[in-house]
Amino acid sequence: MHELSKQEVELASILLGMAADKFANHGCNDFELPETWTQEECDAFTLAMSTWNGDPEEHEPGSRITQDWYAMNYLAAMLRKCSEQPAIQDWITDRPPTDEDALIDCGFCVLATYSNGLTGWERVHDLRDWTQPVVLPSDPPFPVIAWQSIPKAHEFKVV
């Protein structure tokens, strides 16, 4: 199975964004989400789009219809976000972090990826049993699926 490189993901994001701009000028933009998706999957996708757009209150649960250009813009933004994230091979998935892996200046923290796709800093001692859900202040608990060391400020690459 071929995994997309960061460059391929970035290019897909650019092309999808361009297509979204073109589609936005079409007369009808109704788009029905795939029949293979459950209603819960449709609701999760459209809620994610509304939240990304800054208007989660506009979300209409129970609908399978969205706008093609809106879905394209959302997916372009998510792909762009993915292309900015470190490659998956840079993430550690086979062991919990230790104090030696952590950035001491930040309270012995590592960068964690949760099963919902979000990332955040977690203290090493909170991840001793790292596959158990981490309770976030505003979300239901999501297990950490991978982690990596946080580079020091002088190690960040400016592009």
Instruction: Decide if 111 contacts 90 (C-beta within 8 A).
Output: no
d(CA 73, CA 139): 25
Q: What is the pLDDT of residue 62?
A: 94
pLDDT of 125 above 70: yes
Could you tell me which residue, 53 or 131, shows the higher pLDDT? 53
Q: What is the mean pLDDT of the chain?
A: 76
Q: What is the pLDDT of residue 157?
A: 45
Q: What amino acid occupies position 105? A: D
* For range 58-87, the mean pLDDT: 82
Q: What is the pLDDT of residue 100?
A: 81
Q: What is the pLDDT of residue 92?
A: 80
Q: What is the pLDDT of residue 85?
A: 59
Express each pLDDT in 90-117 by its tens digit: 678 788 888 887 766 566 788 877 766 6
Q: What is the pLDDT of residue 78?
A: 82
Closest CA to 106 of 156, 146, 150: 150
Could you tell me which residue, 53 or 152, shows the higher pLDDT? 53
Joined tokens for residue 149: 């060391």
Which of 29-33, 84-88, 129-133 shows the highest mean pLDDT?
29-33
Q: What is the pLDDT of residue 39?
A: 93
Could you tell me which residue, 115 or 78, shows the higher pLDDT? 78
* For range 5-28, the mean pLDDT: 80
pLDDT of 57 above 80: yes
DSSP summary character for residue 67: E
